[in-house]
Structure 1
């Protein structure tokens, strides 16, 4: 049985949304990671990982001096000018090692759209993202590494391209590695070339983006078939970097606004999921 189909029998689901080609992915927990390619330090972390709240999470790093990533093994076909919408919750806890100005814990999480699944980027300030070319990386950075990493401070977000920290940033007042759940929404409208990031401490989608950037994502990627997932990195400071839940739509359909992605309720959606798989392609 295809691993993504198996997810439909659990809490992770794939279903058709809207148009005939659209695929939606929904993880309400990560008890089954068989659809993921795990790389670097992430591959060495036992599956499933249960946090201290009893939830099965996707843990990317769990100590110092690590670099890891997890990407869906199958590519997503971003056929509509590479448009997509995604929403996820994450938790950064158990800070370790040395401290910067706002305390222990490093270095953060990056949501990544890229063209090669079996890779993890730089450790420490690289947050598992640096060096991953042909990519979009939306960072949630919890360590001050200075101007060489385009860091305005030790607690900020940013939108980056090409495996480098080179985009606009916005500072976040509350420490993201405070052990609480955080909620993020990333949308790319291929018709306008605008990428937007929203961030909140609850599950209510903010009306305004915290940071945005204009880019031709299809040109950046060089293809409309892309891998999606997350990276993390730690250095002399570290901690637990967990993805708690995740939704993704391969079109511009902002999640949590007027176009909510419904949660599948029963196995009656299995047939729809099989149709959706047709638009996912696997690379060897």
Structure 2
């Protein structure tokens, strides 16, 4: 199918199949922005002009000493304050991103930027109206994470003042999450920065996190080095967090922050889907939520699909769960949206498109509805 016909099909069937759809974010009617979140295009950085600290450079530095050497460590942004060519040829290059992509610098459709590539930022974007979630839903969105921070360390001989060697690691942070919540802050809810991914501290919430940074030292958890997806909740009365005490089931590794455009589908079914049994994961944190809650509120299934897993109907991560037990929602309605954060490492967290359907979910094949040409010269890894 050629691109024109594909887009016509997309435009022709979408309105009847979803509650709302943002093909891009040239228009943001119905969305509420908090913290560092904003809308931007792909031009040279001019966004966030209303932010009082916009002129603060995305750079950190620290200094250490040994008997024979001084150690200078700097952290800068790939593609912004650092030279990509110079970084790429360092012999000591290491880290979770041996290959990386900087953000596009050409015109493209507007996108939600949950955080800029600055340290210690947090942002959230919510759909302004609460939506029904307990009887099932399906949401599909595309994301792209670019311009990660690079940390370079120079070891300098004290006696001769010559540089002995330099090592660099390209690794941004911290990640983003899709969040459902009934927090009293309503559409102004925003969690902490750094390890909290923008949702840590939001109570009565469920977060599907897309984690790009390891926080073992601060979380005292089994957080892992590679990019991964996991599901977290503190239940109906406690704040959420990204540590292992709130993890529902076990994480699954997947590329999150490699600079490419990815697509995710998150689906809640108000029944146990036997087709996904072999792919399910569970842990002791799930036990309180594995029960029925009256007629029409039975044990259900939460499934997360990524990229090629969407047309193949093969979730990357799925858990048994009764959402009506996990969350205490007024009128069975919840706020939905995205959060993200940066810490000592940073990157741009962008949402490029978003679709939401409730009850029976979005009818038809997702591959016939999702716009894959989401950017100039940047296409989804989703194969058609």
TM-score (norm 1): 0.75
Distance in 2 between the 1:15 and 1:114 partners? 26
Is 1:157 the equivalent of 2:234?
A: no
User: Structure 1: where are the runs of 5+ without partners?
Assistant: 1-10, 18-22, 264-284
Residue pairs, 1:71-86, within 5 angstroms: 71-78=126-133, 81-86=134-139
Corresponding residue for 1:134? 204
2:225 is equivalent to residue 118 of structure 1: no
Aligned to 1:212: 318
The answer to whether the 8 Å contact 1:95/1:106 transfers is yes
Which residue number in structure 1 is paired with residue 176 of structure 2?
A: 109
Partner in structure 1 of residue 304 of structure 2 = 197
For the residues of structure 2 that align with 1:88 and 1:169, how far apart are their CA atoms? 22
Q: Deviations over 1:169-219 (max 9, x none)?
A: 434354x2111101111101123311011112x695342111112222122
Please tell me whether Structure 1 or Structure 2 has the larger radius of gyration of its CA atoms. Answer: 2
Q: Secondary structure at the match of 2:148?
A: strand
* CA distance, structure 1, for counterparts of residue 208 and residue 145 of structure 2: 16
Q: Distance in 1 between matches of 2:349 and 2:28?
A: 16
Asked if the contact 2:141/2:263 (under 8 Å) is kept, the reply is yes
Structure 2: which 5+ runs fail to align?
A: 1-10, 43-103, 153-167, 235-239, 273-299, 372-384
CA spacing shift, 1:237–1:77, aligned 2, 3 Å = same
**Residue in structure 2 matched with residue 144 of structure 1 by the alignment:** 214
Distance in structure 1 (CA, Å) of the matches to 2:226 and 2:171: 10
Corresponding residue for residue 55 of structure 2: none
Give the corresponding residue for 1:60. 114
Alpha-carbon RMSD: 2.8
Structure 2 CA distance for aligned equivalents of residues 207 and 122 of structure 1: 34
Rounded to whole Å, the distance in 1 between the matches of 2:147 and 2:249 is 28
Q: Distance in 1 between matches of 2:171 and 2:114?
A: 18
1:180–1:60: structure 2 CA closer, same or farther, 3 Å change rule?
same
Separation in 2, partners of 1:180, 1:259: 18
TM-score (norm. length: structure 2): 0.56
Q: Deviation digits for residues 69-120 of structure 1, max 9, x if unmatched?
A: 0001111123xx3411111100000102549x97321111100111222111
Taking the aligned partners of 1:148 and 1:104, their CA distance within structure 2 comes to 20
Q: Deviations over 1:138-166 (max 9, x none)?
A: 01100011253552234110111232232
CA gap 1:136/1:160 in 2 versus in 1, 3 angstroms: same
The count of residues paired between Structure 1 and Structure 2 equals 238
3-state SS of the aligned residue for 1:89?
strand
In the alignment, the residues of structure 1 paired with residue 132 and residue 348 of structure 2 have an alpha-carbon distance, to the nearest angstrom, of 31
Q: How far apart, CA to CA, are the structure 2 residues paired with 1:33 and 1:76?
A: 17
Matches within 5 A, 1:228-267: 228-253=336-361, 257=365
> 1: CA distance between counterparts of 2:222 and 2:363?
29
1:124 & 1:261 partners in 2: Cα distance?
34
Kept after mapping to 2: 8 A contact 1:107/1:127: yes
In structure 2, the residue matched to 1:36 is: 31
Aligned-pair CA distance for 1:256: 6.4
Determine if contact 1:92/1:179 at 8 Å carries over to the other structure: yes
- Identify, as 1 or 2, the structure richer in helix: 2
Looking at structure 1, the residues matched to 311 and 169 of structure 2 have their Cα atoms a distance apart, in angstroms, of 27
| 2:143 alignment partner, SS class | strand
Displacement of 1:25 after TM fit? 1.4
